[in-house]
Amino acid sequence: MKKILCALAIFCLVLTQVKAQTNSWPTRPAQYAMKSELGLKVSMSDGAVLLVDVYSPADSIAKVAGQKFPVLLTQSPYAFMNAAPHIGYIDYYVKRGYICVVAHIRGTNGSGGKNEFLSQREQEDGPEIVAWAATQLPNGNGKIGLFGTSWLGFTQVSTAAKIGKNSPVKAIVPTYMGAFPYRELTPGGVPSQSIYFPRDFDQPGMLGNDTTSAVGKRLFKSWSGGGELALEGEFWKSRQPIHYLEQVQQSEIPILLVGGWQDLYPTGISELYAGLQNLHAGKSKYGLMDSSQPISPNYQLVMGPWGHYKGLNVDMTLAWYDKWLMDKEMPQFTTQAPFHAIDMVTGIWYDFSTYPFTTNYQSFVLGKDLSLSTPNSTASLRFGPRAEANTSISFQTEPFTEEKVLAGPGSVRLLATTTSKDMTFLVELFLVDEKGIKTRITQGNVIASLSELDQEKSWKSGDQFIRPQVQLSREMAVISGKEYVLEFPLAPRIASIQKGHRLEVLISSMPKEEDCMGNLGVFPCLPTEQQQARLQGGTFTIKLDSTVSSRILLPFVPKSTLKPSKMNYDSTPNHPF
């Protein structure tokens, strides 16, 4: 009976908190029809001619003759956006009083010039397209907002960096992107299946231009073969927003970021938010935030439960544009807690000011707080697919005696040796309920040859690394039999752990096959040719009986200190992109 009453109390508490989050965003009915002008030609300063599609409000309920509208602009490499104007909710915005412009990135979908994947020349096109949209559209009023997901999100941020203060751009909404894509497309320095993305540039519906095929194949060969793209060198640095974040902040453009815990970029987009807030406060963009620093509501982040481009509340984004481009009052955005994130277990949204959310971390020592799940097993694993024998080991905690809320990035420290010339570990954290049902919460990985820490950019609480920053720009030799201390991050999450539930840590040398399907992902699926040669035949042993312990470090926030959101940030049904 006590268990039933306790469960009922928890249910009622969750229901009360969810009800508090039913405040919906202001909605406006469609006022206009939509007309399309496709394939307009816009010349860039280097002579390349880009193709631009314009979707404008047309006569319907309201008349458009003589009316001026703000403009929402995206720069897209994707051919399918030309054939489906509903993608990105273009028709939703147009029918509510915005002109939408899709500029096809150079070298894609009929646009001239050479595509080099987020190159400096591509970044310079952004302000030039903005200038055209602000001055050459007969029904435009000169105010510009930027929109788009993934590649289209990165172009927004690079445009904000290049365009400077007092520009026509009054607001942007970059979605499903991050501060340093290399680190999440090549997790821990081992390529994920995301390396297949450039190889597929010539697939139907992708970039719509055969000339990009050679570029994509060159990028794929370099990335998978251990070339320039296999390290965080100049190619990536010039394309990663963290490296030009000062210019973004100096543009003073309000930014609403949207991401997902299951996306490619949960770490990068969270640290993009932290970097912008730190620069606003006069701090280093690489540092962790603290509760005493000033917060700007002009930088906000919504983190849902979604995977890549799988969720977006379009009423919320319309409200953001209405605030900055139509001068409408939107008190929902006046907040000192502008990081809005969902608990993946309870579905409750919370508001935070800082990131990380806490510096209160609990250490779980392997072999002590986390016991080997199979007592007679050893803490050794050999390199190979998880389906094969002796390629993974697992540890479990005792059942939790009280509810805890894990919130933020975690970290791992492993003391380990190898019998080969390198070693690699994938660490996954699972929630295990009373029935033994497992839910993966988060993961992280490392390869020893790229495990050197960047001390300046790593986050510490006391003497512990709560978010180690691994150097991924240069490899080091790994000596067989030598003991190494490997510190590396776990991707951030918010997840409630109920009383009676356990945590399980699974350590593998390679992920399971089903986690490596598709051409976008976050698992270290495809070691480069050089990495593969060094790892082959290796046995990796984790030390459990040392004065410096192998451990997992996890952030916990007291439930009583969490601030439930008043707004509902859940995704609009059938969000297409």
Q: Same domain, yes or no, for 280 and 370?
A: no
Amino acid identity for residue 442 in this structure = T
Q: What angle do CA 414, 274, 287 make, to 5 degrees?
A: 55
Domain count for the chain: 2
Q: Same domain, yes or no, for 349 and 370?
A: no
Q: Same domain, yes or no, for 441 and 515?
A: yes
* Per-residue confidence band for 562, with pLDDT thresholds at 50, 70 and 90: very high
Last residue of a domain, one of 355, 370, 401: 355
Q: Is residue 85 part of a domain?
A: yes
Q: Same domain, yes or no, for 101 and 150?
A: yes
CB-CB contact of 178 with 271 (8 Å): yes
Q: Same domain, yes or no, for 321 and 401?
A: no
Q: Is residue 487 part of a domain?
A: yes
Q: Give the chain's mean pLDDT.
A: 91
Closest of 576, 559, 263, 190 to residue 405, by C-alpha:
559
For the record, the structure tokens of 77 come out as: 């490499």
Distance CA 227, CA 220 (A): 10
Q: How many residues in total does the chain contain?
A: 577
Per-residue CA distances from 207 to 77, 186, 221 (Å): 5, 23, 19
pTM of the model: 0.94
CB-CB contact of 44 with 125 (8 Å): yes
Only one residue has tokens 């005792």, namely 398
Strands 255-260 and 33-43 turn out to be unpaired
* Per-residue confidence band for 376, with pLDDT thresholds at 50, 70 and 90: low
Q: Same domain, yes or no, for 391 and 422?
A: yes
* 331: Cβ contacts below 8 Å, ≥ 6 apart: none
For the record, the structure tokens of 406 come out as: 């894990």
Q: Is residue 527 part of a domain?
A: yes
Last residue of a domain, one of 332, 355, 378: 355
Lowest mean pLDDT among 296-305, 347-356, 367-376: 367-376
Distance CA 459, CA 464 (A): 8
Q: Same domain, yes or no, for 59 and 110?
A: yes
Q: Same domain, yes or no, for 370 and 458?
A: yes
Q: Same domain, yes or no, for 343 and 412?
A: no
Closest of 540, 432, 431, 417 to residue 483, by C-alpha:
417
Count of other CB atoms within 10 angstroms of residue 296: 17
Q: Is residue 15 part of a domain?
A: no
Q: What is the CATH number of the domain that holds 303?
A: 3.40.50.1820
Closest of 472, 466, 478 to residue 454, by C-alpha:
472
Rg (CA), the chain: 24
Q: Same domain, yes or no, for 330 and 448?
A: no
Q: Which residue has the higher pLDDT, 245 or 78?
A: 245
Q: Is residue 25 part of a domain?
A: no
Last residue of a domain, one of 355, 374, 395: 355
Q: In which region does residue 257 sit, left (phi positive, over 0), alpha (psi from -120 to 50) or beta (all else)? A: beta
What are the backbone angles phi and psi of residue 314, rounded to the nearest 5°? -70, -30
CB-CB contact of 226 with 260 (8 Å): no
- How far does Cα 420 stand from its chain's mean position? 34
Distance CA 485, CA 474 (A): 18
Q: Same domain, yes or no, for 280 and 300?
A: yes
Can you tell me the mean pLDDT for 219-243? 92
Q: Is residue 500 part of a domain?
A: yes
pLDDT in tens, 392-445: 999 999 999 999 999 999 999 999 999 999 999 999 999 999 999 999 999 999
Q: Same domain, yes or no, for 308 and 366?
A: no
Strands 459-461 and 464-467 turn out to be antiparallel
Q: Is residue 199 part of a domain?
A: no
According to DSSP, residue 481 is labeled: T
Range among 216-225, 407-416, 454-463 rated most confident: 407-416
CB-CB contact of 505 with 552 (8 Å): yes
Q: What is the pLDDT of residue 336?
A: 96
Query: Taking the chain, what is the end-to-end CA distance rounded to the nearest angstrom?
Result: 47
Helices (H), 459-539: 529-535
* Per-residue confidence band for 15, with pLDDT thresholds at 50, 70 and 90: very low
Distance CA 402, CA 560 (A): 13
Q: Which helix (H) or strand (E) holds 349?
A: strand 349-352
Q: What is the CATH number of the domain that holds 469?
A: 2.60.120.260
* Per-residue confidence band for 4, with pLDDT thresholds at 50, 70 and 90: very low
Would you say residue 6 has pLDDT above 70? Answer: no
Distance CA 302, CA 455 (A): 29
Amino acid identity for residue 195 in this structure = I
Structural domain of 527: 361-557
Q: What is the pLDDT of residue 9?
A: 43
Distance CA 574, CA 89 (A): 10
Q: Is residue 7 part of a domain?
A: no
Q: Which helix (H) or strand (E) holds 149?
A: strand 140-149
